[in-house]
Structure 1
């Protein structure tokens, strides 16, 4: 399978499928960041990771991306595919709107991963982590 065929295939995936991968991709960046900062206890890792990966945090990050004009047209397209996709799972501890926005966030990361945009993925993940670390995104229980 050549590169053009691979690109066509990921472009045909629905938003929820992109979000499935994107969730894992972003989670790895967050986990690495926490370990790099010396957090090693499992309960601390889980509690701290929530600040970055919760639906509310991801929705806040999307709002900041819009405010700071961080995404290009194609990235917005894949975000919206995730946000607007029919999902058969339910939001936990958050509104349906927040859950859908976070699904879009995850679809964006899935798209960047599958389209082999590693440098862009690295930059955007780092930017997201910095926004949380700098208090621009506040996780609320």
Structure 2
């Protein structure tokens, strides 16, 4: 991984990082991407920003985005998604069912994987496609 804005790298090769850990960082990366997208829009007030962000980062929204992206994914990305979907996290949020939560975790795992493998252009592309599709 090349040194970016924050110089810490994973403690082991990306392929050896558990999918749930990739989802952990993927959740944060996706949240920042959504906030950057929302701030790029004109005339949004803080309470609108929060409501709009929640609509894009919820487990339900992430699950839907993953479904919308399925035909766009490479075989390698589909494999990462499968690993993320099958990861055991030990909990399910109160606002999502188990299937939505597993798909959201799979999406976050993919985001974390693309981030740590320096596939930032691909990451931006998929997030852009997902957000655009959700805004329709």
TM-score with structure 1 setting the length: 0.83
Q: Cα RMSD between the aligned structures?
A: 1.9
Count of aligned pairs: 128
**Does 2:95 match 1:93?**
yes
The aligned counterpart of 2:5 is none
Distance 1:36 1:62 in 2: 23
- Rate the CA distance shift 1:39–1:86 in 2: closer, same or farther, 3 A: farther
The aligned counterpart of 1:132 is 134
Specify every segment of 5 or more residues in structure 2 that has no aligned partner in the other structure, as ranges: 3-9
Specify every segment of 5 or more residues in structure 1 that has no aligned partner in the other structure, as ranges: 135-141
The aligned counterpart of 2:64 is 60
TM-score with structure 2 setting the length: 0.86
Deviation string 1:74-99 (CA, Å, 9 cap, x unpaired) is 10111111110111222221101110
- Rate the CA distance shift 1:29–1:39 in 2: closer, same or farther, 3 A: farther
Offset of 1:16 from its aligned partner? 0.7
Offset of 1:39 from its aligned partner? 5.0
